[in-house]
């Protein structure tokens, strides 16, 4: 689709040739994309601003990160790296609808997600961050012209600096297929009625949080093991009702487990997650972290596994660095 511009009706409302009252004329619309395109209920949680085709086999998606966010909180002058994952999530869903014709009511299911980033490009400034996602599609599978699955590669630029490379693999299902896959667990009301009571949190500072409400780990029988806290009242992680623990909650659990397991390494410069099955809300999810020896530059790899009812739910690897005292200016 072409980049959005002022429509004739908008030009008529704004004056001759689209001139606004103060004489400015935006080249493109400066709003977010429709929230339905990224499966969000709150407009405030939509980060994408536009999209257009780029070349013959790619797309350019633009986004804006706020200077502050209630959950993805900037720290030490740097944006939260998990903003990157949420932006990739939104871009994948957007393109499934606008580029591949997936109906809005079809669930999008993650298989894998990964990023590798340049820390200096995370530097926050006195203005919101302008982000560009250069996206290409690979391994596209269709059935009767309907998208079934694909892998997307992202080259991500933040305020003109190369920020990261990311990969997202997902599948799409019709509502009927999703109901067959999920069985009784696909019933939204029943799934939420069966959810467990929220267990006690670990101390927030152990996982890099200031508020108990943002802690997603609960103490278990060992220092390297925790129970997942599933708080469906959280306004960001549970932006809208769902029938299972959402992917961004699981990724936040991975980040917090890595932080707790390697407390000196607080900046996840690389994160890779593979989803095995749904995390249900009627049984505890157990999270375990194993930490490798630090390299000469302080880098540490943390392997995180999540299981439920004795079966793997998710496997992840985080590479973390000590947070630099001063983040250099981006090149």
Residue 262 is assigned to a structural domain of this protein: yes
Confidence class for position 29, pLDDT limits 50, 70, 90: low
Across the chain, mean pLDDT equals 89
Residue 308 confidence (pLDDT) above 50: yes
Q: What is the mean pLDDT of residues 156-172?
A: 97
Domain end point (choices 108, 139, 173) = 173
Residue 38 is assigned to a structural domain of this protein: yes
What total of structural domains would you count in the chain? 2
Confidence class for position 7, pLDDT limits 50, 70, 90: very low
Q: How many whole angstroms separate alpha carbon 313 and alpha carbon 306?
A: 5
Does one domain contain both 228 and 116? no
Residue 212 confidence (pLDDT) above 80: yes
pLDDT of residue 26: 54
Q: What is the mean pLDDT of residues 213-217?
A: 98
pLDDT of residue 195: 95
pLDDT of residue 15: 39
- The range of the structural domain enclosing residue 299 comes to 192-324
Residue 19 is assigned to a structural domain of this protein: no
Does one domain contain both 268 and 304? yes
pLDDT of residue 109: 95
Q: What is the mean pLDDT of residues 119-132?
A: 94
Domain end point (choices 110, 145, 173) = 173
324 against 129, higher pLDDT = 129
CA distances (Å), 234 to each of 45, 53, 239, 245, 290, in order?
A: 13, 35, 7, 12, 28
Does one domain contain both 301 and 242? yes
Q: How many whole angstroms separate alpha carbon 317 and alpha carbon 144?
A: 36
Does one domain contain both 31 and 164? yes
Does one domain contain both 134 and 237? no
Residue 90 is assigned to a structural domain of this protein: yes
Residue 14 is assigned to a structural domain of this protein: no
Residue 303 is assigned to a structural domain of this protein: yes
Residues 179-197 as b/e (b if ≥16 CB within 10 A, e otherwise) read: eeebeebbeeeebeeeeee
Percent of the chain with pLDDT over 90: 82
Confidence class for position 325, pLDDT limits 50, 70, 90: low
List pLDDT tens digits, range 72-109: 999 889 999 999 999 999 999 999 999 999 999 999 99
Does one domain contain both 69 and 127? yes
| Helix 82-98 / helix 247-261 crossing angle, nearest 10 deg | 160
Q: What is the mean pLDDT of residues 30-50?
A: 94
Does one domain contain both 127 and 57? yes
**Residue 14: exposed, middle, or buried by beta-carbon count in 10 A (0-12, 13-18, 19+)?**
middle
Does one domain contain both 109 and 244? no
Residue 122 confidence (pLDDT) above 70: yes
Residue 329 confidence (pLDDT) above 60: no
Does one domain contain both 148 and 217? no
Residue 209 is assigned to a structural domain of this protein: yes
Q: How many whole angstroms separate alpha carbon 316 and alpha carbon 302?
A: 8
Does one domain contain both 83 and 154? yes
Domain end point (choices 146, 173, 200) = 173
pLDDT of residue 56: 81
Does one domain contain both 169 and 40? yes
Q: How many whole angstroms separate alpha carbon 129 and alpha carbon 36?
A: 23
The CATH number of whichever domain residue 141 belongs to comes to 3.10.129.10
Does one domain contain both 225 and 147? no
Residues 288-299 as b/e (b if ≥16 CB within 10 A, e otherwise) read: bbebeebeeeeb
280 against 294, higher pLDDT = 280
Residue 18 is assigned to a structural domain of this protein: no
Q: How many whole angstroms separate alpha carbon 262 and alpha carbon 291?
A: 7
């Amino acid at each position: 689709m072409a980049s959005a511009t002022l429509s004739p009706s908008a030009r008529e409302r704004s004056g001759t040739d689209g001139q606004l009252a103060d004489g400015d004329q935006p080249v493109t619309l400066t709003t977010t994309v429709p929230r339905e395109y990224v499966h969000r209920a709150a407009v405030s949680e939509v980060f994408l601003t536009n999209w257009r085709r780029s070349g013959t086999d790619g797309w350019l998606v633009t986004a804006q990160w706020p200077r502050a966010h209630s959950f993805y909180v900037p720290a030490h002058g740097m944006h939260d790296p998990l903003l990157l994952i949420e932006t990739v999530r939104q871009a994948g869903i957007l393109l499934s609808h606008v580029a591949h014709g997936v109906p809005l009511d079809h669930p999008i299911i993650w298989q894998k997600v990964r990023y590798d980033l340049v820390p200096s490009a995370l530097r926050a400034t006195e203005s919101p961050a302008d982000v560009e996602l250069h996206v290409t599609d690979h391994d596209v599978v269709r059935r009767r012209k309907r998208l079934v699955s694909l892998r997307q590669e992202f080259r991500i630029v933040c305020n003109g600096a190369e920020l990261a490379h990311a990969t997202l693999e997902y599948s799409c299902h019709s509502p009927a297929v999703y109901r067959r896959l999920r069985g009784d667990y696909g019933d939204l009301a029943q799934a939420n009625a069966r959810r467990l009571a929220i267990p006690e949190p670990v101390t927030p500072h152990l996982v890099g949080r200031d508020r108990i409400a943002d802690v997603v780990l609960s103490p278990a029988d060992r220092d390297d093991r925790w129970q997942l806290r599933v708080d469906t009242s959280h306004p960001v992680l549970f932006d809208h009702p769902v029938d299972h623990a959402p992917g961004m909650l699981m990724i936040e659990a991975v980040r917090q487990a890595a932080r707790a397991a390697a407390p000196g390494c607080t900046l996840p410069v690389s994160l890779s997650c593979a989803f095995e099955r749904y995390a249900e809300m009627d049984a505890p999810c157990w999270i375990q972290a194993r930490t490798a020896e630090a390299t000469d530059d302080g880098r540490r790899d943390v392997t995180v596994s999540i299981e439920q009812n004795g079966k793997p739910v998710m496997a992840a690897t985080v590479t973390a660095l000590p947070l630099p005292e001063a983040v250099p200016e981006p090149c």
